[in-house]
Amino acid sequence: MSDFAEPLARLIDELKRLPGIGQKSAQRIAFHLLRDSPEVAKRLAAAIIDAKEKIRLCSLCNNFTERDPCRICSDSARDHSVVCIVETPYNALSVERTHEFRGLYHVLHGALSPLQGIGPEQLKLKNLMERLKNGDVKELIIATNPTVEGEATAIYISKLLKPLGIRVTRIATGVPVGSELEFADEVTMLKAIEGRREL
Amino acid sequence: MPLREGEAIVLRTYRLGEADKIVSLFTRPFGRLRAAAAGAQRARTRYGGTLEPLSYIRVWFYERENRDLVRINSTELVESFFDMQKDYRMQVAAQYVAEVAERFFPERQANDRAFRLLLGVLRAMKRSGELGAPLLYFDYWLLRLEGFLPDLTRCAACGRVLDDGGYYGPASEGLCCADCRTPTTPRAVAASALELAESARGVTPEQWLGTSKPAAVCAAARRFLEDLIEAHAEKKLITRELLDAGV
């Protein structure tokens, strides 16, 4: 039998399903919500429902959006000849925070991961190919994570796009800014050497 | 809480919270372990690329009594298989090896021969760029080391030499000849495939890859051995489906 009253136990169980929330955090959030005024809980519930109902995937880039096409895809001031391919919507946000990239995005919603059963069919590649058909895109920047899964995805996409003759580039990998070389492992250092540039 | 040290192969990792990872390690001195790596998801992680799947590393970790997870203190890369897995086919093959190892090797049981097998097969794949022959070698030796490999030369029922190949089924303990075949042993395996599989006995992966092998015979031998592996794993292997799909 649960230590908590049934509605409270149910709330904790639901909170525990969220990423990064364990039993203790779920209990803390649940008790916080109970202590707070009913309006706070209602606002939170309404915000979750509202987001779930109104947010969908952009038919062009697969990013989360309220309107289709999304704000970025429909912005005529942006460079529509460059598309940056990322694994997740928050990866797009990381690139966007640089304020340097003025092109468009394409979100794959994953990376090739055989052990998780994610193959090419599970990635959002179909509408990428359709996007490239009209010939407006001149460069694709592959910004998948520098992990085994991200690298395999990058190589897979570059092979897929080779026949189209579009320039395909990969974001640089190597030593992070602010770190010391003596702490870099061999793989990271090798990537940094491979990706060196002329000064 | 003593600091322990050993060589290990990273089998797979899972995200834990916002910044950490759970790492499944196959260590040489302690067998398979699950470890927590604090901050491993961060861009400036102290583990760098050492915790990428199939990395051969030296690991230092703390172990607390009554805790399943050990805590990684530091790692050092011995050999990387990162670039090899840039090719999706090789990634699937490498992760097949990891999936089978996770399924077969029990936690906290050192198995030096299995460790050398894993390393040898990964190195063979990396050097040759091939996956069929190294995986056949892996399948054969995995079953042999775990005691699941049946006699590939004689019928398990009557003892007759399997000159014309054999028959087996999902629940069969060994191979049987055409005369002893029953409805429970519907699958056939050719004599050439059995002979090829048996030739992995007593040779290193390097010696094994030194001779060319007909692709069709190699595929038939793997199909048979991987059926056995799946039967003993009592679970469909995710990566095998992708390998069979000819990625």
A56 located within any domain: no
Q: Could you give the CA distance from residue B47 to residue B40 in angstroms, rounded to a whole number?
A: 7
Nearest C-alpha neighbor of B181 from the set B193, B168, B194: B168
Nearest beta carbon to residue A148 from set B91, B242, B245:
B91
Tens-digit pLDDT string for chain B (247 aa): 789 999 999 999 998 877 899 999 999 999 999 999 999 988 778 888 899 999 999 999 998 887 889 999 999 999 999 999 999 999 999 999 999 999 999 999 999 999 999 999 999 999 999 899 999 999 999 999 999 999 999 999 899 999 889 999 877 778 999 999 888 888 999 999 999 999 999 898 888 888 888 999 999 999 999 999 999 988 889 999 888 876 5
> pLDDT for A13-52, tens place per residue?
999 999 878 889 999 999 999 999 999 999 999 999 999 9
Residues in contact with B223: Cβ distance below 8 Å, sequence separation at least 6, in sequence order: B189
- Collect all residues of chain B within an 8 Å Cβ-Cβ radius of residue A146: 49
Q: Could you give the CA distance from residue B40 to residue B50 in angstroms, rounded to a whole number?
A: 10
Distance from the B61 Cα atom to the nearest Cα atom in chain A, whole angstroms: 18
Burial of B131 (0-12, 13-18, 19+ CB in 10 A): buried
Distance from the B60 Cα atom to the nearest Cα atom in chain A, whole angstroms: 15
Q: What range does the domain containing A143 cover?
A: 79-172
B89-246: which CATH number, 1.20.1250.20, 1.20.1440.120, 1.10.10.10, 1.10.287.130?
1.20.1440.120
Q: Could you give the CA distance from residue A22 to residue A12 in angstroms, rounded to a whole number?
A: 9
A160 located within any domain: yes
- Locate B124 and state its tokens: 């063979």
Distance from the B107 Cα atom to the nearest Cα atom in chain A, whole angstroms: 19
Chain A contact residues (CB < 8 Å to B): 19-20, 112-117, 119-120, 146-149, 151-152, 154-156, 176, 178-179, 183-188, 191
**CATH number of the domain within which A159 lies:** 3.40.1360.10
The backbone region for A63, taken as left when phi is positive above 0, alpha when psi lies in -120 to 50, beta otherwise, is beta
Rg, C-alpha atoms of chain B: 20
Q: Which fold has domain B3-79?
A: OB fold (Dihydrolipoamide Acetyltransferase, E2P) (2.40.50)
B134 to chain A, any CB pair closer than 8 A? The answer is: no
Domain boundaries, chain B: 3-79, 89-246
Contact yes or no for A187 and B242 at CB 8 A: no
A131 located within any domain: yes
Which of A23, A148, A175, A188 is the mutation pick for testing B, counting most B CBs within 10 A?
A: A148
A121 located within any domain: yes
A69 located within any domain: no
Domain count for chain A: 1
Q: Could you give the CA distance from residue A170 to residue A143 in angstroms, rounded to a whole number?
A: 6
A35 located within any domain: no
A51 located within any domain: no
- Collect all residues of chain A within an 8 Å Cβ-Cβ radius of residue B52: 147-148, 187
